[in-house]
């Protein structure tokens, strides 16, 4: 029997996505990009593989963890040392062969006066896990469009299980067939002080939450786009529709309220968030820990897929980037929890994780890799599979996607994202993060628009550029058409 708020599949009455594929035979001229409504979740009648939870697969080990935590759930701890001893004992009870040092966690406990109550909150959430989730969440497998729906309480319980070492490891989750991120907090608790502080702060804030808050919903959706024409140059050249608007903004993507917010993702959701990474995706997951839950059940992304997280909140403030990333205190949930819930009970931003090519070098300017990035960005811009449960995000808030350690050219990637968003009928708000390589983006957009160039024309303008000179090349080609 499913409990209220347990994981569920999408059950929308959408039509199968066949119309656009049939149009390939009719030629590319005047083709129309398939819309989000034409992409149906492929879940009906299929058996799902689920994540493995400790109480399901090893009741004896689970009972050992419960024996450690049950007395502590109501205890008032007198010192951070006693809190550490409790958490370390839970890890050993869950099967850890050596008592973990959890150095970063100990540091976080010492710095947060609410840490004893935070750990008690986590203990109570873990103890409730068998009632909250009798089975693990569905795995969001490669090649399928599917959604997992969890309450905030269920998200908290899964993160609490990870905090106490009571989530079966990735080799168990893989079930000899799956390719999943590693969902294990041990490195963070031992060596990543800012993220350990974020976790302690998360559970401290949950300690003050009411049932209405806990019953709100967070969804995780995989969208897999299988229209074959989207990887052909004929389709993009023949895409006869106007370009969407593109506006440049300052600030941070996570503050773009009401917009689809880009997560410059690794192909494995979360990237290095649990292993020392501190760039855009990792920071977002650290300050919004409900995002981390998706790493338990989201397989690696294929070239034609994106993952959407809707309803998570930012619990921690931060400063810095990369090696300078720091926890900067608790967020005021009243400030980030203002919009009304949608039809699924979700209250929070729409985040889309989509991975760029890694180290594409000079090949990124060739048609084949441009087509790959167009498809990936287009799937991201289609939006969450249940976006119609609330107001549609009018624009995607994005920026220099794949242009840091991945080595992409931000001038090329900006124009690719503009074209992809236009094909998906979504505007673009672009956050350059002070990168001077894209300081002429508005000038280029204005030139393209003033020449009446449409989607197909922009695709042709993207071809055959030199490194760092994409904007110059586009402006030159526009001037030659005068």
Active site residue 208: no
Active site residue 254: no
Active-site residue (options: 254, 282, 342, 355): 282
Query: What token pair was written down for 420?
Result: 């992809």
CA distances from 60 to 64, 65, 378 (A): 6, 9, 47
Whether residue 244 contacts residue 428, with contact meaning beta carbons closer than 8 Å, is answered with yes
Active-site residue (options: 263, 299, 305, 384): 263
Identify which of 307, 306, 222, 229 has the alpha carbon closest to the alpha carbon of residue 18: 229
Active-site residue (options: 192, 254, 281, 342): 281
Identify which of 355, 138, 180, 405 has the alpha carbon closest to the alpha carbon of residue 274: 180
Q: What is the CA radius of gyration of the chain?
A: 23
Give the three-state DSSP class for 218: strand
Whether residue 339 contacts residue 199, with contact meaning beta carbons closer than 8 Å, is answered with no
Whether residue 370 contacts residue 362, with contact meaning beta carbons closer than 8 Å, is answered with no
Give the three-state DSSP class for 22: helix
CA distances from 417 to 70, 148, 227, 426 (A): 51, 27, 19, 10
Whether residue 313 contacts residue 261, with contact meaning beta carbons closer than 8 Å, is answered with no
Tokens 């309220």 correspond to what residue?
A: 257
Q: Name 261's bridge partners.
A: 351, 397
Active site residue 281: yes
Q: What is the rounded distance in angstroms from the CA atom of residue 60 to the CA atom of residue 94?
A: 10
Backbone angles phi, psi at 71, to 5 degrees: -65, -30
The set of catalytic residues is 263, 281-282
């Amino acid at each position: 029997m499913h409990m209220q708020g347990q994981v569920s599949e999408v059950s929308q009455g959408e039509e199968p996505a066949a119309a656009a594929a049939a149009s390939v035979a009719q030629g590319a001229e005047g083709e129309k990009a398939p819309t989000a409504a034409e992409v149906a979740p492929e879940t009906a009648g299929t058996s799902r593989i689920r994540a493995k939870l400790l109480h399901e697969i090893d009741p004896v080990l689970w009972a050992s963890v419960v024996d450690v935590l049950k007395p502590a759930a109501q205890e008032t701890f007198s010192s951070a040392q006693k809190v550490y001893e409790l958490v370390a004992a839970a890890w050993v009870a869950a099967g850890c062969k050596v008592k973990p040092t959890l150095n970063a966690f100990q540091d976080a406990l010492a710095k947060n006066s609410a840490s004893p109550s935070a750990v008690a909150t986590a203990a109570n959430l873990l103890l409730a896990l068998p009632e909250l989730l009798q089975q693990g969440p569905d795995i969001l497998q490669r090649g399928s469009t599917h959604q997992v729906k969890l309450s905030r309480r269920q998200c908290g319980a899964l993160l609490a299980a990870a905090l106490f070492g009571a989530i079966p490891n990735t080799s168990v989750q893989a079930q000899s067939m799956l390719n999943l991120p590693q969902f294990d907090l041990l490195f963070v608790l031992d060596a990543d002080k800012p993220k350990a502080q974020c976790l302690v702060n998360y559970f401290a804030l949950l300690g003050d939450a009411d049932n209405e808050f806990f019953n709100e919903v967070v969804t995780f959706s995989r969208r897999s786009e299988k229209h074959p024409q989207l990887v052909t140059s004929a389709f993009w050249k023949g895409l006869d529709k106007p370009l969407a608007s593109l506006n440049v903004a300052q600030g941070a993507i996570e503050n773009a309220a009401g917009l689809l917010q880009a997560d410059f993702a690794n192909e494995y959701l979360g990237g290095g968030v649990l292993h020392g990474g501190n760039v855009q995706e990792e920071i977002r997951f650290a300050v919004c820990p409900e995002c981390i839950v998706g790493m338990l059940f989201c397989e690696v992304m294929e070239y034609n897929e994106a993952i959407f997280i809707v309803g998570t909140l930012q619990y921690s403030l931060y400063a810095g980037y990369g090696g300078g990333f720091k926890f900067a205190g608790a967020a005021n949930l009243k400030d980030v929890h203002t919009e009304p819930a949608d039809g699924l009970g979700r209250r929070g931003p729409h985040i889309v994780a989509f991975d760029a090519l890694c180290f594409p070098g000079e090949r990124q300017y060739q048609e084949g890799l441009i087509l790959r990035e167009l498809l990936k960005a287009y799937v991201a811009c289609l939006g969450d599979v249940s976006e119609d449960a609330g107001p549609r995000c009018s624009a995607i808030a994005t920026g220099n996607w794949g242009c840091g350690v991945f080595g992409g050219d931000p001038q090329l990637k900006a124009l690719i994202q503009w074209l992809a968003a236009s094909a998906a009928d979504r505007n673009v708000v672009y956050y350059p993060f002070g990168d001077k390589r894209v300081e002429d983006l508005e000038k280029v957009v204005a030139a393209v628009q003033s020449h009446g160039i449409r989607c197909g024309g922009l695709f042709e303008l993207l071809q055959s550029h030199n490194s760092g000179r994409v904007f110059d090349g586009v402006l030159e080609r526009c001037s030659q058409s005068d």
